[in-house]
Structure formats: C-alpha cells, structure tokens
C-alpha cells in the first residue's frame, strides 16, 4: 500500500476510473488535490460574485471572495460594475471590511491611501511631501479582477485574463438560466443579503449533491415523506430529466405529471404568465410550463435549486423560489456557504413574501431540508480522512460508486432543450461529467 | 409582571429545549407567535444598523414551529438522529419595556453550546433575544421572539435546534 503522490500518471489513472463511474474517496480530502484545485480550477475559471441588484446604484458595493482572494464588487460613477482585489496597493491591507454599503471612495485605515470607485488612487496622506511629485499615482490603482462579465444579472469574475468569454463558459447553461432568471420583464432581485455559514465538508460533495443527486432526496429527506409533505413514492424526484451540459455543468428538471395536480410554471402567479411568453422562446416556455423543480450546478461551485415547497404541513400550498449558492472552499474539509434568495422584481409582493418563507423554511442552515444535507455531508468528509481512503493506489477498496445509469440509461433525443438529456433524474451522468471536467482541469497543469 | 417570573419562564424554556421536550416548549408559545432570526452584517462605521431584517435564518409561526417539532420526531431527521446535545445559557435578562401589568419586552443574552456525536469541537451560537412575554390566563406565554445572532457567518453547520 502506498500513500502516493499526485502526479500525472496518477491523475490519468483517476480520469480512467471517473469515466467508468468510480471516484477515489481521497478526492474529497487530500491536501494536494485541494491545492491543485485552487491553482487549476478556482484561479482559472469563472467564479460567481454576486447579482446586479446587490450593487444597483453608483457607489453600491459588496465584499466577496474567489476562494482565498478577497473581492470588492462596486458599481462605479458611470454605472459600470467593477471588481477589485480588496487589498490596498500600498501595504496590502484589506481595504473594505463591510459586507455591503454605499461609498464614494475607499480609504485604507493603515496609512490613508484613498481610492475612488474607478479604483484610482486619489488621495495619499502628505502625498507630495513624502513621495514627491514624481510618483505616478496611476501605477498604484486598485488591482482589477482580470475579467468581470455577467449574464442575466449574474456577475462572475475570473482571476485568469485569458479565460474564455463567460457566455462561452456557461454554454447551454444559459438556456436554463433564462428559465430561472430571465423569464420576467425586469429580471431578478436578491432579497436582503445572502445567508452565510460554515460546513465541515468538501466543496465537491455539496456541488455534486446539488448538481447530480436527486437520488438522495428519498432517504436524506425522508423526514418530509414521513410528515406527508413529500410523496411516498421513492422515485418521486426521478420523474423528469437529468441534463448533462458542457464544461461540467448540469441541471435536473423534475417535471409536472398529470396525476400530481401541480400548477404550471411552478405555481408562479398567473398574472406573470404573459411575461414568460414575452421573455422565453416557445421551447423554453413549454419546458418551463411543465417544470416543477430545477436543481443543478454550474461548474465548479455555483449551485442552484428552484423547488416548490411548503412549511406548514401537508395541506399548505407549495410555493417556488430561486436560490443560488456558492460553496467557497476554505480547506479540504470546510466550506463557507453563501446563499442568495432571488425573486422576480415584477412578482406581486404577496408572492415575494411567500417565496421567501418557503425558502427560509426549507433551505439555509435552519431549513428543514438543508439541515440534514449539512449533517450528512460532514459525515462524508469525516469518513474520508483515514489511511484506507487516502491510499493513492486506486483500487476497488478506495473508490466510490458513481455507476448509476452507466451504459444502462440512454439519452432521450426528444428532449426539446439543449444538452444531453436522460429521461430520469436518478442518474450519475451529471456527477460523472462534473468529475471528468474536474480531473481535466487538474491534468491541465499537472507535472 | 415580576422579574422573577420572567426569569423563571426563560430558564424553564431553556431547560425544556435542552431536554428536547419540544411539545412542552410549544405550549409556552402563544398561538400567534412570530419567531424570527434576522441576519447580522458587518457594516461601515457610518451605517450603525447591522441587522438585516429582509433575510432571516428563521421566520416562523406556531404552525411552522409545530411542523419542525414533528419533523424532529420522525425517524429520519438526520441532523438530530442521533440528536445533538445543547446547553442554552440564558443571561443578562433585562425588562426593556412594559405594556400594562401583563406584558413585558425582555432582552436576554443567549449562548448555545452544542455537542455533536463524538466530536470534541464545541459548536456555538450566541447573540441577543428580544422577547415579548405576556401573562395569559395566569401563565406566561411567549408572544414574539427576535434573535440577533452576533456572527455574520454562522459557524454552526445547521440549526436543527431552537434558539
């Protein structure tokens, strides 16, 4: 038995296993894997930063993270969204410590260097006396996050100036983002601020859970079945499509069935339906009409869920919501969750309130569904740190099972939307695609 | 309303929660209770309000709290199966307002220490609670609870407990 090193031949071996539905358990916890992920995934790809409604007016700002890089996201005086490394260019102090607010300028508490919304160094305490007129202040602007682009109000940043355009990276995920984010005339708004909390698990465990694992609902969330809130049929979350998209993205759409008496458009108010007809193309409209739940993951760590849920017991009406969350990697076995509730700006106030209560009741750290997810994800990380699971010699004893549907479930060519759609959500196709993308990224710069 | 009665009420409540006697705990809550836990944020010095009421961790009615309790009584609420162990340390109880002889607004500090399975790490949640307590038919009832956590990023993995 060998503990082993993370070199190219090992990673190629892992790729071959992943393609056949086997993932070494050390992928969750190995410190070298984690370091490689920071370098080869989070520093290279697009990372979600926030929604345009969070920085609606000039001077509005929020502070965020890309893995370990602190980011200051602001709306500048011209109305353009800017993202800076949240670190003073003089001595590196974290410049802005507030979570959100509105400012005309940011002053560093260390020596008083001041930057405007355009990131320009506009003030230095005793500037000319100590640096002389020869110091070129334009050389000491805030450092920009190399690339910032947005789609449907979703602002992403990349630390890699050569990254592909955001819309290329999102690819066919854009079509599905439209259903959640682009269906109404004025788009979405974030309610309040995002919830944040820490879970002692690996970021891939949660991303994979949202991305490709409707199968877990029958057991992990069985308490809601016992309560009569969720259907007794253990296959209930499978009825629909698991859709594998490019670049490691994936989405599951649980569809409305006639015998379930679920209203169209996830129960969104009928007054909004004409907007959906205006903003979605006919194929999107038809798919959205019959959608009950969407849940998925945008590689690497932006997950989303839009279910219909009630909190008051079996007789309460179900209300949908749209939730996006980032699983920010802190260590191999800890993540900071940032979770945004979004709602259509054009929705009636009563719906916005009901949608909020539905979210808070079911998701977030106190949510009756999410409570159990967090507990179980910590148990995966907890059981993946010992010698047997860390053995790099990839063999039957240390790989996990991602075999569901492999060579068994064929794509459904009749699915009208983009991507490779399989006619069930109980399938590991998205997980396999997620880990294939993951291992390709790790192999990209491997020695 | 006597200060001692208010303290006894809050200590009794904490004891029921730590003993997971949730049905008895529900009996202390008025049928129209509003039970909320808004988010705390780190704000700039010039923005003194650091509570965000538009988003919460809990926004509950008696009915939704009852559903939560019923869920914890199922065989598959894994966050509490096996159950976690808590101590609600309730201190610094101050009556901050009175509305007639039978209703008081009460501020208290709460520190919840939580032990999960065999983990040596202590999970903590702490903050202040602002309660409205009323005497109804001779016994005290919780009419309203607002919890202001001190952490902006909760270090607890989940809140399968009541605060």
State pLDDT tens for residues A279-320. Answer: 999 999 999 999 999 999 999 999 999 999 876 656 677 899
Calpha distance A305→A369 (Å, rounded): 12
pLDDT at position A4 over 80: no
Q: CB under 8 Å to A299, separation ≥6 — which residues?
A: A45, A207, A247, A248, A249, A434, A437, A438
Q: CB-based contact (8 Å) between A364 and chain B?
A: yes
A33 domain-assigned: no
Digit-coded pLDDT (tens) for A319-350 = 999 999 999 999 999 999 999 999 999 999 99
| Structural domains of chain B, count | 1
- Do A269 and A361 sit in the same domain of this protein? yes
The alpha-carbon gap from A113 to the nearest alpha carbon of chain B, in Å, equals 17
Sign of CA dihedral A328, A329, A331, A333: positive
Q: Which residues of A touch B76 (CB under 8 A)?
A: 219, 222-223, 225-226, 372
Higher pLDDT, A445 or B37: B37
Query: Is A202 buried (19+), middle (13-18) or exposed (0-12) by CB count in 10 A?
Result: buried
Of the residues A162, A184, A208, the one at which a domain ends: A162
Q: What is the CATH number of the domain that holds A247?
A: 3.90.380.10
A125 domain-assigned: yes
- Do A231 and A364 sit in the same domain of this protein? yes
Q: What is the CATH number of the domain that holds B14?
A: 3.10.450.50
pLDDT at position A447 over 80: no
- Do A154 and A235 sit in the same domain of this protein? no
Helix or strand run (H / E) with residue A336: strand A334-344
Q: List the single residue in A192, A313, A370 with the smallest CB-CB distance to B52.
A: A192
Neighbours of B5 (CB within 10 A): 14
B163 domain-assigned: no
Digit-coded pLDDT (tens) for A363-374 = 999 999 999 999
Instruction: Place A1 in a pLDDT band, splitting at 50, 70 and 90.
Output: very low
- Do A188 and A145 sit in the same domain of this protein? no
Digit-coded pLDDT (tens) for A379-388 = 999 999 998 8
| Structural domains of chain A, count | 2
**Does the pTM exceed 0.90?**
yes
Instruction: Place A60 in a pLDDT band, splitting at 50, 70 and 90.
Output: very high
Are B90 and B10 within 8 A, CB to CB?
Answer: yes
Summarize the confidence of residues A117-135 as an average pLDDT: 90
User: Parallel, antiparallel, or unpaired for β B29-40 and B139-149?
Assistant: parallel
Calpha distance B144→A50 (Å, rounded): 33
Digit-coded pLDDT (tens) for B61-101 = 999 999 999 999 999 999 999 999 999 999 999 999 999 99
CA angle B20, B26, B28 (to 5 degrees): 110
Distances A311 to A48, A187, A361, A363, B111 between C-alpha atoms, Å: 29, 26, 6, 11, 27
Q: Using DSSP, how many helices (H) and how many strands (E) does chain B show?
A: 3, 6
A201 domain-assigned: yes
- Do A304 and A202 sit in the same domain of this protein? yes
pLDDT at position B27 over 90: yes
Range of A376's domain?
Answer: 172-444
- Do A328 and A385 sit in the same domain of this protein? yes
User: Parallel, antiparallel, or unpaired for β B29-40 and A46-51?
Assistant: unpaired
Digit-coded pLDDT (tens) for A226-260 = 998 888 889 989 999 999 999 999 999 999 987 77
**The pLDDT value given to residue A283:** 98
**The pLDDT value given to residue A311:** 62
Selection from B30, B15, B22 nearest residue B103 by Cα: B30
Chain A contact probe: residue of B54, B65, B79, B80 with most A CBs at under 10 A: B79
Calpha distance A308→B103 (Å, rounded): 39
- Do A251 and A375 sit in the same domain of this protein? yes
Q: What is the CATH number of the domain that holds A139?
A: 2.102.10.10
A153 domain-assigned: yes
Establish how many alpha carbons lie within 13 A of residue B132's alpha carbon, considering only the half-sphere containing its beta carbon: 13
pLDDT at position A394 over 90: no
* Cβ separation A198–B63 shorter than 8 A: no
B155 domain-assigned: no
- Do A366 and A384 sit in the same domain of this protein? yes
B84 domain-assigned: yes
């Amino acid at each position: 038995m060998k503990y082993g090193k993370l070199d190219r031949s090992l990673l190629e071996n892992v790729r071959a296993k992943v393609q056949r539905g086997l993932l070494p358990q050390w992928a969750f916890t190995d410190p070298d894997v984690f370091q490689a992920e920071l370098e080869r995934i989070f520093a290279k790809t697009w990372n979600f930063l926030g929604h345009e409604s969070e920085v609606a007016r000039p001077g509005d700002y929020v502070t965020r993270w890309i893995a370990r890089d602190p980011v200051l996201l602001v709306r500048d005086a011209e109305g353009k969204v800017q993202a800076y490394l949240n670190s003073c260019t003089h001595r590196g102090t974290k410049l802005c410590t507030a979570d959100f607010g509105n400012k005309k300028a940011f002053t560093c508490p260390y020596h008083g260097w001041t930057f405007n919304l355009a990131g320009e160094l506009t003030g230095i305490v005793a500037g000319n006396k100590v640096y002389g007129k020869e110091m070129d202040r334009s050389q000491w602007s805030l450092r920009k996050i190399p690339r910032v682009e947005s789609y449907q109000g979703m602002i992403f940043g990349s630390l890699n100036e050569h990254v592909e355009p955001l819309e290329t990276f999102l690819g066919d995920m854009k079509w599905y983002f439209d259903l959640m984010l682009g269906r109404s005339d004025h788009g979405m708004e974030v309610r309040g601020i995002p919830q944040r909390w820490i879970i002692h698990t690996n970021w891939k465990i949660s991303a994979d859970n949202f991305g490709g694992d409707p199968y877990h609902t029958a057991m992990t969330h069985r308490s809601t079945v016992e309560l009569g809130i969720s259907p007794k049929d253990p296959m209930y979350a499978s009825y629909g499509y698991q859709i594998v998209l490019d670049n490691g993205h994936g989405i599951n759409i649980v569809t409305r069935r006639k015998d379930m008496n679920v209203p169209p458009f996830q129960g969104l108010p009928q007054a909004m339906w004409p907007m959906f007809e205006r903003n979605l193309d006919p194929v999107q409209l038809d798919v959205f009409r019959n959608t009950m739940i969407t849940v998925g993951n945008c590689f690497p760590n932006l997950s989303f869920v839009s279910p219909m849920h009630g909190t008051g017991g079996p007789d309460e009406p179900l209300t949908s919501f749209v939730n996006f969350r980032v699983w920010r990697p802190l260590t191999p076995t800890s993540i900071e969750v940032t979770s945004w509730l979004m709602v259509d700006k054009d929705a009636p106030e009563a719906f916005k309130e009901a949608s909020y209560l539905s979210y808070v009741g079911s998701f977030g750290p106190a949510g009756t569904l999410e409570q159990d997810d967090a507990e179980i994800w910590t148990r995966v990380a907890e059981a993946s740190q010992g010698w047997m699971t860390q053995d790099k010699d990839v063999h039957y004893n240390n790989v996990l099972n991602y075999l569901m549907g492999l060579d068994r479930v064929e794509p459904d060519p009749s699915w009208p939307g983009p991507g490779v759609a399989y006619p069930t959500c109980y399938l590991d196709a998205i997980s396999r695609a997620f880990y294939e993308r993951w291992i390709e990224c790790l192999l990209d710069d491997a020695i | 309303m006597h200060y001692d009665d208010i303290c006894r009420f809050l200590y009794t409540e904490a004891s029921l929660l730590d003993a997971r006697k949730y049905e008895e705990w529900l009996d202390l809550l008025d049928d129209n209770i509003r039970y909320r836990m808004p988010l705390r944020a780190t704000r700039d010095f010039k923005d003194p309000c650091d509570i965000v009421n538009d988003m919460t961790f809990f926004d509950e009615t008696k009915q939704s709290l009852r559903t939560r309790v019923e869920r914890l009584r199922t065989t598959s609420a894994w966050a509490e199966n096996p159950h976690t162990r808590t101590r609600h340390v309730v201190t610094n109880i101050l009556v901050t307002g009175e509305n007639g002889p039978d209703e008081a607004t009460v501020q208290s500090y709460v520190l919840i220490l939580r032990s999960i399975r065999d983990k040596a790490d202590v999970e903590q949640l702490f903050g202040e609670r602002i309660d409205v307590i009323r005497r109804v038919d001779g016994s005290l009832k919780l009419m309203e609870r607002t919890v202001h956590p001190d952490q902006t990023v909760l270090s607890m993995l989940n809140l399968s407990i009541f605060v």
